[in-house]
């Protein structure tokens, strides 16, 4: 008897329905492949929304986690532990920044960035007390806290969670004039995803990110790049900003930083920015814990080899080539960079959800977003043959 139906029923019975998962019950995984409780195998084309950039259970990361589990797992930041300095140093060097502030989830990194930018605004820039504002983009996704959903433009994410945190100005994504016009003397930061992941892997027009960098520098405003989903190899570079030669004032990192093993996030910035925080002004019990640091240091070392960025760039060309060939054959549009793609399915054929269900039946797991869009973000360890397999399954469901 199959175990999946009962496991799906039990999960629905005992959890709040804040997700609508595909009816697949995973029990183990390795590399780019998942196996469910009934022994069926699936090619993972979501990779935990990029939290699994190095694949499931990468041997180096698992080894680092095991070794650390056997020695020390938690101290709190009340004490210093022996994994902390190496992690902060190596991540700071990867980012080309002076300092790192470790947290746990992506939303916490974003909250940290907002707090640091506000404090920098009052203490360094000299904005009017209580009046700091941050410019953000329409279609943004930065997490789920009450402050972050306050400036979401997605009604599902925002409605009925008010009262909302003030201090954010929303402008259209990709429109430099609108962004420049929104900046006033109390603007402390521009907070953007260099590619909007949840919105459907939306790449801004060429020149936009350098333009944002220029405007921020001219206006003495911090450019905060939320690279939580776009960063750490996903687009074929360490950071998506790199494709346009842009260096933000602050990187927000998460997801893949934890190697798919532990939640690890971080803010990286120079001392003139992160230095505004003093003891007692920000923190987290679990942020920068020994297990997190041990795994994340190994993540940074994997990235320092450049191998994963290269794979993403090269294999991404193959993926995008295969997907572009399906435009007009069931796909309306394909966007993205590296091993990251947003596909718009012809709505006359099926919804994004239906497409994901049909892919699942063919052993490929992906996730829909916003009606008729599917995101593909396979682990960067995926092979050419596996990419061709995923594209062939997509072609098959579009042709059916």
Ligand X SMILES: Cc1ncc(COP(=O)(O)O)c(C=O)c1O
Residues that bind ligand X (CB under 6 A): 49, 105-107, 110, 141-143, 193, 197-198, 226, 228-229, 254
Question: Helix crossing, 290-304 with 59-69: angle to 10°?
Answer: 150
Spatial CB neighbours of 397, under 8 Å, sequence gap ≥ 6: 350, 355, 358, 359, 362
Minimum CB separation from ligand X for residue 47, in Å? 12
Residue 110 or 190 with smaller CB distance to ligand X: 110
Q: How far is the CB of 346 from ligand X (least distance, A)?
A: 26
Task: Select which of 84, 255, 308, 367 is catalytic.
Answer: 255
| In the complex, minimum distance from the CB of residue 201 to ligand X, in angstroms, rounded to a whole number | 11
**Comparison of 105 and 289: residue with beta carbon closer to ligand X:** 105
Round to whole Å and give the CA distance between 46 and 52. 8
- Beta carbon nearer to ligand X, 148 or 398: 148
Residue 170 Cβ vs ligand X, minimum distance, rounded to whole Å: 16
SS3 content of the chain, % helix, strand, coil (to 5): 40, 20, 40
141 as an active site residue: the answer is yes
- Angstrom CA distances, 148 to 63, 102, 164, 198, stand at 35, 19, 9, 14
Q: Could you say which DSSP state residue 213 is in?
A: H
- CB-nearer residue toward ligand X: 186 or 229: 229
Q: Single out the catalytic residue among 54, 84, 87, 141.
A: 141
Residue 226 known to be catalytic: yes
Cα-based distances in Å from 400 to 151, 342, 395, 397:
41, 21, 9, 5
Catalytic site includes residue 54: no
> Of the residues 36, 44, 226, 344, which is catalytic?
226
Q: Tell the smallest beta-carbon distance from residue 130 to ligand X (Å).
A: 26
Nearer to ligand X among residue 174 and residue 197 (C-beta): 197
My answer on whether omega of the bond before 286 falls inside 30° of 0, hence cis, is no
Residue-wise DSSP of 170-205: EE-TT-HHHHHHH--TTEEEEEE-SSBTTTTSBPPP
Hey, which residues are catalytic here? 141, 226, 255
């Amino acid at each position: 008897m199959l175990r999946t139906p009962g496991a799906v029923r039990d999960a629905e019975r005992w959890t709040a329905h804040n997700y609508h998962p595909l009816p697949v019950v995973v029990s183990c995984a390795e590399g780019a492949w998942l196996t469910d409780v009934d022994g069926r195998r699936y090619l993972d084309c979501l990779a935990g929304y990029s939290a699994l950039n190095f694949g499931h259970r990468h041997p180096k990361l698992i080894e680092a986690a095991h070794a650390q589990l056997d020695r020390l797992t938690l101290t709190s930041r009340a004490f210093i532990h022996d994994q902390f300095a190496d992690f902060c140093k190596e991540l700071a060097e990867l980012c080309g920044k002076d300092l790192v502030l470790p947290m746990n989830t992506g939303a916490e990194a974003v909250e940290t960035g907002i707090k640091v930018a506000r404090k920098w605004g009052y203490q360094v820039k000299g904005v009017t007390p209580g009046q700091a504002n941050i410019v953000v983009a329409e279609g943004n996704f930065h997490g789920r806290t009450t402050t972050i959903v306050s400036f979401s433009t997605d009604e599902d994410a925002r409605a009925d969670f008010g009262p909302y945190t003030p201090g954010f100005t929303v402008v259209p994504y990709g429109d430099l004039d609108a962004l420049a016009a929104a900046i006033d003397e109390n603007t402390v930061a521009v907070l953007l995803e260099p590619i909007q992941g949840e919105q459907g892997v939306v790449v801004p027009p060429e020149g936009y990110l350098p333009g944002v960098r220029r405007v921020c520098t001219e206006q003495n405003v911090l450019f905060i790049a939320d690279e939580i989903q776009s960063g750490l190899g996903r687009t074929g570079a360490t950071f998506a900003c790199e494709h346009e030669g842009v260096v933000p004032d602050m990187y927000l990192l998460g997801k893949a930083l934890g190697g798919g093993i532990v939640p690890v996030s971080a803010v990286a910035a120079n001392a003139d920015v992160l230095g505004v925080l003093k003891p007692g002004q920000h923190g987290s019990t679990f942020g920068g814990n020994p297990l997190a640091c041990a795994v994340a240091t190994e993540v940074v070392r994997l990235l320092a080899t450049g191998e994963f960025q290269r794979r993403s760039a090269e294999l991404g060309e193959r993926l995008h080539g295969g997907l572009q060939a399906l435009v007009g054959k069931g796909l309306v549009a394909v966007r993205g960079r590296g091993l990251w793609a947003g596909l718009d399915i012809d709505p006359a054929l099926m919804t994004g959800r239906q497409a994901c269900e049909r892919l699942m039946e063919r052993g490929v797991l992906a996730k829909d977003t916003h009606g008729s869009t599917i995101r593909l973000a396979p682990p960067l360890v995926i092979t050419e043959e596996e990419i061709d397999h995923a594209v062939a399954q997509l072609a098959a469901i579009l042709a059916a």
